[in-house]
């Protein structure tokens, strides 16, 4: 960070914030990028197998026209595949149910015809091989990795049920499990479809980042200006950037002065004044004067592409801790295999016929299979997602629930999150005979034709007070200094502290020094060569931010702030809000490092932000929370999105996470707990007392547990 005469250079008007910290940015380059990586995603409540090697994810930015989104596309294809298999399987399940003897007996009807059991076998075989394929493949992958989980349990149960049922169909004495097989596969497919919808989108952040780059550049050639695709730019090329256009790639200004809006990239709330010799970042917006830029970096070395790489790395290193359901499935798998084997061996040892022992084993395996467990988490997530959406909270990553309940510190981005990202006049200081109202009327008159945020802040203040600005004549911008014009026959200027010092107009004033010490932006009114007044401006703090910090403290959660702004501004905001701490003058690539610092202290950390520069930090955090009106990339990088831009919704989200987690635990307890009495009954523990759980009754118990889990999920309240 550099200090320059305590002057924070900005605004083509050069309005000063008095601190002068001008952010030194990394130098970068522009535009093509290839990323190949093995991304593992533990999918869901039921442990969709980890898919290693989505590999070869490429983002070729060709003037931004072409993108290869194999990673996101892979997730979409998987989700559609589950949906398609569910639809086909559920349609086939209807005749399977109608042809099943147990269902007919239960509902008191009869449907039979010659060869009906072969039709039942044929339909069930399609459901088993087509609908059950993801689980059979998943079981194979888990066993190959020697890490049995939900897929192994499901695959084992449907295989045992199908194999035994086929044997019965073709002559072995016993009862078939076709309807149990079909409904189990249906429920597992819909459960995985629900959870796939929640994980889809995790890779979109990379796509949204690349969309920020412009597609064309105005290349300066000996023959004149020529429009070329940005991907064709080379180091050393000179490009023209007109007002309102995005800078095509990282470079250095060689001609012209302007203000550049870097807020989307760096989080710096104020536009930054740029002159010849200053670096500019590809993707930032040229606000005012036309400039010529010498391209210094292109391709993957640009600032924006480095942020893309940070996002990619953070996604790859995100915790892959298996969820509760998957852990429960691991133990249930061991229990099912052990209990089934013991049951078969015990009855054979006791001299029972093999068919009897086999039926007991199959009953144990079927009753252990987790219809309820497969829905325990997805159903709660579905309900809580619906509830939260009504409250303006969108939950994109169900694993955020498990992490959010333990959050110990919330790190807020400043601009656009704790503050509104727009300037308001906080102090009007008369320095001569003019009143505060007169100062505002003069200043608003000069600033009324500017779109600069500081100018708009002055105009807005005059409007709030019902002041009608004077008419202005001969208005013009003083590059790097301010703006001047003629009002009521008097020469009027609105300028920076630097201008005053250069022209010998600066004079010490305790009130001015105080607002400068607070890091506020200060502009001065000069009338007919005399210093008439000063106006201090600051990024408006959201009224909701104070309550949000207070309620976090009541919950025992610390609140920190992370900002690219200078330390004085950060200190003022932190004191206003009563924060526990802050990180100031943080370059975008350092934001995720600050989150890591807190995590290294053993603190479960949530990050709340809205900018591109927040994306790596959002992903690095244990829980990433994006302000909904922020950039698409921040939203796509987050676990939770606050649609209403209200920091208080962070508290609501944490409460909801805790309640959701509680419901998950209840459902998992029921889904696994009923096995503690059902498995012994299925195995025949009370056979000597004449109590024997039939396979049909075992399946009915399993179905009842599913209903109970579904009802319990519906009782979730915000």
Which residues neighbour 645 within 8 Å (Cβ) at sequence distance 6 or greater? 542, 627, 628, 629
Cβ atoms 397, 213 nearer than 8 A: no
**Cα separations (Å) of 491 from 435, 473, 525?**
18, 10, 11
What SS3 state is found at 340? helix
**What is the rounded distance in angstroms from the CA atom of residue 626 to the CA atom of residue 632?**
9
What are the percentages of helix, strand and coil residues in the chain, rounded to 5?
A: 50, 15, 35
Q: What is the DSSP string of 147-188?
A: ---HHHHHHHHHHHHHHHHHHHHTT-SS---HHHHHHHHHHH
Chain length of the chain: 718
In sequence order, what DSSP letters do the residues of 602-635 get, joined into one string?
T--EEEEE-SGGGHHHHHHSSEEEEETTS-HHHH
Q: Where are the alpha helices (DSSP H) in 350-451?
A: 354-368, 371-390, 399-404, 436-447
CB count in 10 Å sphere of residue 337: 17
Q: Quick check: is 250 catalytic?
A: no
279-280 β-sheet, strand order: 224-229, 216-221, 238-241, 291-295, 251-255, 279-280
Over its C-alpha atoms, the chain yields an Rg (Å, rounded) of 33
Distance CA 709, CA 279 (A): 59
Report how far residue 493's alpha carbon sits from residue 478's, in angstroms, rounded to the nearest whole number: 9
What is the residue-wise DSSP string for 272-318? EEE-TT-EE-TT-EE-SS-EEEEE---GGGSHHHHHHHHHHHHHHHS
Cα separation, 631 vs 212, whole angstroms: 10
Q: Which of 194, 200, 157 is nearest to 45 (CA)?
A: 194
Residue 151: beta bridge partners? none
Of 16, 413, 565, 646, the catalytic one is 413
Query: How many C-alpha atoms does 173 have within 13 Å on its Cβ side?
Result: 5
Neighbours of 90 (CB within 10 A): 18
What sign results for the dihedral spanned by CA atoms 437, 442, 446, 452?
Answer: negative
Q: Of 402, 403, 487, 395, which is closest to residue 664 (Cα–Cα)?
A: 402
Instruction: Mention every residue, 6+ apart, whose C-beta is less than 8 A from residue 409.
Output: 557, 558, 559, 560, 580, 598, 603, 604, 605, 606
- Element (DSSP H or E) covering residue 574: helix 567-577
Nearest CA to 431 out of 512, 492, 499, 491 is that of 512
Question: Which residues participate in catalysis according to the annotation?
Answer: 413
């Amino acid at each position: 960070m550099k200090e320059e005469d305590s002057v924070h250079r900005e605004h083509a008007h050069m309005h000063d914030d008095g601190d002068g910290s001008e952010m030194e940015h990394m130098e970068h380059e522009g535009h093509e990028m290839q990323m190949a990586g093995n991304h593992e995603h533990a999918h869901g409540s039921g442990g969709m197998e980890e898919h290693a090697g989505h590999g070869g994810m490429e983002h070729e930015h060709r003037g931004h026209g072409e993108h290869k989104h194999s990673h996101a596309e892979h997730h979409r294809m998987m989700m559609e595949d589950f949906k398609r298999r569910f639809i086909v399987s559920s349609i086939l399940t209807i005749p399977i149910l109608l042809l099943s003897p147990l269902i007919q007996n239960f509902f008191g009807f009869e449907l039979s015809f010659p060869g009906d059991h072969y039709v039942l076998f044929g339909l069930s075989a399609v459901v088993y091989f087509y609908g059950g394929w993801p689980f059979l493949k998943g079981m194979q992958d888990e066993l190959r990795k020697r890490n049995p989980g939900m897929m192994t349990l499901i695959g084992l149960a449907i295989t045992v049920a199908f194999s035994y049922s086929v044997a019965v169909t073709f002559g072995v004495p016993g009862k078939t499990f076709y309807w149990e097989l079909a409904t189990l596969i249906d429920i597992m497919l819909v459960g995985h479809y629900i959870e796939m919808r929640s994980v889809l989108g995790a890779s979109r952040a990379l796509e949204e980042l690349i969309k920020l780059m412009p597609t064309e550049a105005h290349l300066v050639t000996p023959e004149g200006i020529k429009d070329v695709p940005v991907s064709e730019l080379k180091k050393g090329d000179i490009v023209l950037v007109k007002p309102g256009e995005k800078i095509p790639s990282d470079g250095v200004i060689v001609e012209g002065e302007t203000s550049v809006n870097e807020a989307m990239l760096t989080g710096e709330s104020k536009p930054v004044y740029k002159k010849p010799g200053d670096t500019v970042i590809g993707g930032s917006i040229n606000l005012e004067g036309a400039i010529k830029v010498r391209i210094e970096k292109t391709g993957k070395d640009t600032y924006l592409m480095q942020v893309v790489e940070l996002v990619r790395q953070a996604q790859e290193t995100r915790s892959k801790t298996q969820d509760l359901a998957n852990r429960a499935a691991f133990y249930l798998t061991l229990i099912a295999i052990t209990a089934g084997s013991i049951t078969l061996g015990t009855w054979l040892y006791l001299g029972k016929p093999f068919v009897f022992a086999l039926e007991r084993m199959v009953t144990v395996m079927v009753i252990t299979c987790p219809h309820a467990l497969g829905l325990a988490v997805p159903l709660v997530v579905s309900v809580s997602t619906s509830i939260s959406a009504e409250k303006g909270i969108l939950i994109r990553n169900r694993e955020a629930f498990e992490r959010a309940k333990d959050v110990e510190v919330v790190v807020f981005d400043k601009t656009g999150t704790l503050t509104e990202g727009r300037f308001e006049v906080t102090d009007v200081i008369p320095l001569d005979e003019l009143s505060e109202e007169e100062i505002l009327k003069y200043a608003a008159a000069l600033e009324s034709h500017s779109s600069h945020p500081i100018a708009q802040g002055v105009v807005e203040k005059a409007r709030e007070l019902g002041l009608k600005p004077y008419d202005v004549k001969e208005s013009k911008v003083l590059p790097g200094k301010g703006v001047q014009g003629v009002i009521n026959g008097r020469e009027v200027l609105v300028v920076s502290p630097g201008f005053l010092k250069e022209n010998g107009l600066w004079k010490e004033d305790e009130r001015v020094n105080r607002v400068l010490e607070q890091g506020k932006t200060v502009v001065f009114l000069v009338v007919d060569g005399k210093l008439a007044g000063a106006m201090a401006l600051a990024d408006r703090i959201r009224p909701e931010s104070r309550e949000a910090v207070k309620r976090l403290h009541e919950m025992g959660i610390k609140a920190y702030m992370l900002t690219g702004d200078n330390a004085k501004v950060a200190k003022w905001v932190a004191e206003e809000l009563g924060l526990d701490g802050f990180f100031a003058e943080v370059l975008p690539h350092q934001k995720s490092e600050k989150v890591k610092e807190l995590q290294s202290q053993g603190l479960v950390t949530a990050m709340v932000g809205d900018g591109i520069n927040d994306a790596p930090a959002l992903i690095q955090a244990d829980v990433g929370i994006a302000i909904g009106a922020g950039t698409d990339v921040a939203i796509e990088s987050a676990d939770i999105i606050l649609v209403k831009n209200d920091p208080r919704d962070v508290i609501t989200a944490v409460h909801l996470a805790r309640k959701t987690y509680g419901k998950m635990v209840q459902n998992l307890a029921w889904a696994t707990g009923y096995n503690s009495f059902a498995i012994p009954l299925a195995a025949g523990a009370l056979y000597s007392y004449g109590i024997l759980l039939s396979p049909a009754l075992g399946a009915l118990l399993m179905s009842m547990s599913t209903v109970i889990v579904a009802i319990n999920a519906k009782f979730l309240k915000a």
